[in-house]
Chains A and B, each alone.
Chain A
């Protein structure tokens, strides 16, 4: 050990300072890991998911994610507090969920965009444990634009399983990530809003928040209206399709079925793809 460079100090002062230096160095080790470290590590190696809380039109929800993407969305109204969520998550996924004080910026941003109705939001989902059929149903539901709805039968036909309408309903009812995969945009073929992973009332609230009027929707269905066409373009659509919404009252024609529309010389819209669109 050498002496301090400033030679006017005595040796005693130098040794005292050495002890203080070693003690001060030891105190540098007294840091506490940031609160999100554990959750981030476990979610990256997929031993547990990280989650945070988000405000939505149906109240606060817990959003969980891991390296593979978003894994769960649950309503606080359904599971209760964080302990209730963690319990429900473990029951469903057989692994723990740990809270983070702030989610990764890119992920939080993508979730916000998705909830704001941006369909290009770059969201990935961890759908492990779902069958290929369930996955196909859920990913198809993502294609429905905000403010629009499609019947269960539409999904069944679009994924090449036209006979599996009931199974489509079940798969959507078991959607592990409601709101972010917008299963609320799939309604009964008779026009009624129908069931929802978050419950029927919540479904109406979410649709209304996207600018859709659930009462008007059900009114049309009661009147037997499945489609709207334009007598200028002779194209027919689901009533909530952006193209259908642009038709003025004067030019709007209602159809009860594809056959009726076809018989009137109308062709199906290529965007919303009613039954006969090719």
Chain B
């Protein structure tokens, strides 16, 4: 898992999206791999002294998760920030033995998910269901822009487009697809983060992927001139 993520950081750098800071991410990933099991122990023993490490180890992933949930960098920053603050306050209240036995990753994703849900509830429901009548999540980029030759730009654009499609998925599929395929959680971690049985989250992941595939296919068909 950690190794995979370090590889992704390298790919992101090649694509020119995260070049100045991919190094930090790589270090965090390596440190995380070495210490994934001892971090709860450290937090249980010295919460204030270890909390910064928890933020450093998980901030990229939690932010990416929030970005895919909300579809907006500003909302994602606030969601990730609130999630860490809530996590700290929860850890202050937990007895050490509970902290020691925490599966940090799904626990943090669960908190972020709740923060994002509460924000949506508190404001507007910005989510347009993909399979609804208004399936187009946003205006397509103009043709000349999409046909720019630079491969990196195209890949970045494709990712932005896909990100928009993901953000437009109905929430239960979106959370499941993002945790599984973007964040790379195992199904048992997914079940813990979402508070649902493994069978349910599996079904939601599959349904979500199918909705995405259909949306992509439909758009390709449209782009190729079909109407």
Contacts and interface: CB of A to CB of B under 8 A. Distances in A.
A1 B206 contact: yes
Contact of A25 (B59, B63, B166): B166
B162 A24 contact: yes
Nearest to A95: B48
A31 B18 contact: yes
Contacts of A4: 213-214, 217
B48 to A, nearest CB: 6
Nearest to B210: A2
Given A4-B213, A22-B181, A28 B52 contact: no
A30 B8 contact: yes
A22 B4 CA distance: 14
A41 B166 contact: no
A45 B88 contact: yes
Interface in B10-35: 11-12, 17-18, 21-22, 24-25
Most B CB atoms within 10 A — which of A1, A9, A37?
A37
B223 interface: no
A30 to B, nearest CB: 4
Given A4-B214, A26-B8, 10 more contacts: A6-B217, A24-B162, A25-B166, A25-B182, A28-B178, A29-B8, A31-B64, A34-B63, A37-B55, A47-B52
19 contacts: A4-B214, A6-B217, A9-B217, A22-B181, A24-B158, A25-B162, A26-B4, A28-B166, A29-B65, A30-B17, A32-B63, A33-B60, A33-B63, A38-B52, A41-B55, A41-B59, A42-B55, A45-B89, A47-B88
Task: For the complex of A and B, list the 4 residue pairs with the smallest distance between their C-beta atoms, beginning with the closest.
Answer: A31-B64, A33-B59, A30-B12, A33-B63
Interface of A: 1-2, 4-6, 9, 17-18, 21-22, 24-38, 40-42, 44-45, 47-48, 96
